[in-house]
A and B are shown apart, each in its own frame.
Chain A
Amino acid sequence: MSLKLTADERRIANGTDGAAMAMRIVAESAALLGAPRLLPIASAHIDGALYHGDSGTLFAERLVEGGARVAVRSTLNVGALDLMGCARVRLEEPQRSMARRMMEAYRKLGCEQSWTCAPYQAGHRPTLGTDVAWGESNAVVFCNSVLGARTNRYGDFLDIACAISGRAPDYGLHRPENRLARLVFDVSALPRAFMASEIAWPVLGSLYGREVGDAIGVVAGVARDPGEDALKAFGAAAASSGAVGLFHIASVTPEAPDAETALGDVEAETVIRVTPDMVAEAQARLSTAESTDRIDAVAIGSPHLSLAEFDALERLISGRRLTVPIHACTGRHVLGELDRDGRRKALEDLGVVIVADTCVVVTPILPDRSGGVLMTNSGKFAHYAPGNTGYAVLYGSLADCVESAVAGRPRFAEIGR
């Protein structure tokens, strides 16, 4: 099966401008994937504007010089700088200027200045069955699983190339037959107290990703809809520990009214019966710190915190002054709300460092402290912080994170498991 482009697509690809470059990148990727054709997309979420080095800036500027513009609604994932000026980013020159040039280039391409890894909580919510091209692993998995829109895991550069060409390879999760679950991840044996706890979904997500890899599964045995922020945490953790692009949760997510439907009425190839021991092991794996008698920083907000999560943070801090700062990462869609009511200043006065447009594992914000210990409630931060920040990780619930930040040393509440 080889790729067939339409006459129009071929004409664009044969040009010499930015649109031509974008179309060639989409077409080459499609050929690599074995896609028979390109299909039109309704929107894009662009992960490519995060500075990893000069090459990405040069690429974006080449597109701008070539007169390219996005053809569909395109939101931007985090960048390497806090353009809102909330947190100090210790990115030095010349990297700082290159990161800023990159963010500016994506703006010139016509992308929305959303700068968030949770675009689905910032008003970008494609409807069930819509084809889109999204980047950023947690956004991809949320878009597919919770919204039921259809996207593959678009890597940096392919996302913007799809946005400019308005097309994506007809492949993978764009096709309904590839969206069915093949395995069941049964959590019915887990105690109710654990399932109701705040760490249940990030810990289960981390376990799920490692168990399924890139396969599609349906989570069965969930008594009630855990809510959007829990699904966000599950997907983000699963897409960090595995190559998860789509999950189903029976009677919760839109393509899984029940497990049988999610499986396409075919018997599951594998049933993973999750035990309390598996959960305990998955939770323990999220921490890498050897001793648990100190913490140097706390980070929350991967994916970016919603307003509801800030409500919970405020409730838990309840006016107490923090001994160790909590870095709370979010997008400007939430920052505006916090600023309106003076809540941001109140939190900052207590020792919360609000981080907007970016986050602490993608750019240097945390103090440069070798051997430092970072506490987090995010499965995704837990996964990436050691490699990206040099900090060892201590994993706990949001309540544990807040109590530890107040006390200045690790505090853990017991949770029934």
Chain B
Amino acid sequence: MSQAAILVPGQAGEGPALILSAPISFWGGVDPKSGRIADVRHPECGESIAGKVLFLPGTIGSSSASAVLMELVHAGHAPTALVLHEPDAILLLGLIVAREMGWMTPVAVKLPRDAFSAFEGQQVRVGADGEVTIRGSDLTD
């Protein structure tokens, strides 16, 4: 269990951990219609961030990342929680604006980058209070 700082408050979320091995540009790198990673140069290309607890080693590129994340939230394809090692104002703005619109948003929390690997391959729950826990696989359905 880790206690993470809350970057943007939101709904608690649970799902398989997806730990990206390289920074990603949400705009052009993630399909806003599905959550699939579309950047052919990205190591996790083809995987979907929808329904995952997404561990992000950073973002690059376009300043439209917030629009893509907000669209994923609105369309129901967002990660169930986001874990970043530092606040990413451009990306997280998508959550801030979605909250202003009155939509349900996943919680975004901060953990040191070297803490990410402990969650590899695990079912993870991020509480609304920032508690990050590994769930036994028998608890998932």
Count of A residues near B, CB < 8 Å? 45
B100 within 8 A of A: yes
* A56 nearest CB neighbor, chain B only: B67
- Decide: B67 and A48 in contact? CB cutoff 8 A: yes
In angstroms, how far is the closest chain A Cβ from the Cβ of B35? 12
* Given known contacts A32-B92, A386-B39, A387-B38, A137 and B62 CB-to-CB distance under 8 angstroms: yes
A152, B64: Cα distance in complex, Å: 14
- Decide: B61 and A137 in contact? CB cutoff 8 A: yes
- Decide: A156 and B64 in contact? CB cutoff 8 A: yes
Bitwise interface map of A from 373 to 394 toward B, beta carbon under 8 Å scored 1, else 0: 0000000000110111000000
Bitwise interface map of B from 19 to 45 toward A, beta carbon under 8 Å scored 1, else 0: 000010101110011000011110000
- Decide: B75 and A53 in contact? CB cutoff 8 A: yes
Q: Across the interface, which residues of B come within 8 angstroms of A48, CB to CB?
A: 67
A302, B97: Cα distance in complex, Å: 28
A155, B39: Cα distance in complex, Å: 20
- Decide: B66 and A157 in contact? CB cutoff 8 A: yes
- Decide: A55 and B100 in contact? CB cutoff 8 A: no
Interface segment, one of B10-18, B47-55, B83-91, B119-127: B83-91
In angstroms, how far is the closest chain A Cβ from the Cβ of B130? 15
Interface segment, one of A121-129, A240-248, A405-413: A240-248
- Decide: B101 and A58 in contact? CB cutoff 8 A: yes
- Decide: A32 and B64 in contact? CB cutoff 8 A: no
Q: Across the interface, which residues of A come within 8 angstroms of B62, CB to CB?
A: 136-137, 240, 384
- Decide: A157 and B63 in contact? CB cutoff 8 A: no
In angstroms, how far is the closest chain B Cβ from the Cβ of A233? 16
Q: Across the interface, which residues of A come within 8 angstroms of B68, CB to CB?
A: 52
* Given known contacts A56-B67, A56-B70, A155 and B28 CB-to-CB distance under 8 angstroms: no
In angstroms, how far is the closest chain A Cβ from the Cβ of B65? 6
A137, B65: Cα distance in complex, Å: 11
- Decide: A55 and B61 in contact? CB cutoff 8 A: no
Interface centre among A62, A136, A157 (most CB of B within 10 A): A157
B133 within 8 A of A: no
Q: Pick the residue among B25, B67, B87 that contacts A32 (CB under 8 A).
A: B87
Q: Across the interface, which residues of B come within 8 angstroms of A152, CB to CB?
A: 89
Q: Pick the residue among B40, B63, B64, B90 that contacts A52 (CB under 8 A).
A: B64
A241, B67: Cα distance in complex, Å: 19
A140, B90: Cα distance in complex, Å: 13
Q: What is the interface of chain A mostly: helix, strand, loop, or mixed?
A: helix
Interface segment, one of A21-29, A36-44, A363-371: A21-29
- Decide: A55 and B8 in contact? CB cutoff 8 A: no
Q: Across the interface, which residues of A come within 8 angstroms of B74, CB to CB?
A: 53-55, 58
Count of B residues near A, CB < 8 Å? 41
Q: Across the interface, which residues of B come within 8 angstroms of A135, CB to CB?
A: 63
List residues 121-154 of chain A with CB under 8 A from any CB of chain B. 135-137, 140, 152-154
Interface centre among A136, A155, A383 (most CB of B within 10 A): A155
- Decide: B61 and A50 in contact? CB cutoff 8 A: no
List residues 79-113 of chain B with CB under 8 A from any CB of chain A. 87, 89-94, 96-98, 100-101
A249 within 8 A of B: no
A29, B64: Cα distance in complex, Å: 15
* Given known contacts A24-B100, A243-B60, A384-B28, A158 and B93 CB-to-CB distance under 8 angstroms: yes
- Decide: A157 and B61 in contact? CB cutoff 8 A: no
A158, B40: Cα distance in complex, Å: 29
A113 within 8 A of B: no
A62, B99: Cα distance in complex, Å: 13
In angstroms, how far is the closest chain A Cβ from the Cβ of B57? 11
B128 within 8 A of A: no
B134 within 8 A of A: no
A392, B73: Cα distance in complex, Å: 30
Interface centre among A32, A47, A153, A159 (most CB of B within 10 A): A32
Q: Across the interface, which residues of A come within 8 angstroms of B92, CB to CB?
A: 32
- Decide: A47 and B96 in contact? CB cutoff 8 A: no
- Decide: B63 and A156 in contact? CB cutoff 8 A: yes
- Decide: B101 and A29 in contact? CB cutoff 8 A: no
A411, B93: Cα distance in complex, Å: 44
Across the A-B interface, give the 3 residue pairs with the lowest CB-CB distance, nearest first: A53-B71, A155-B90, A55-B74
For the complex with contacts A34-B87, A56-B70, A140-B63, 13 further pairs of A-B residues with Cβ separation under 8 Å are A21-B100, A32-B89, A52-B32, A52-B64, A53-B71, A55-B70, A55-B71, A55-B101, A137-B63, A156-B94, A213-B58, A361-B28, A383-B28
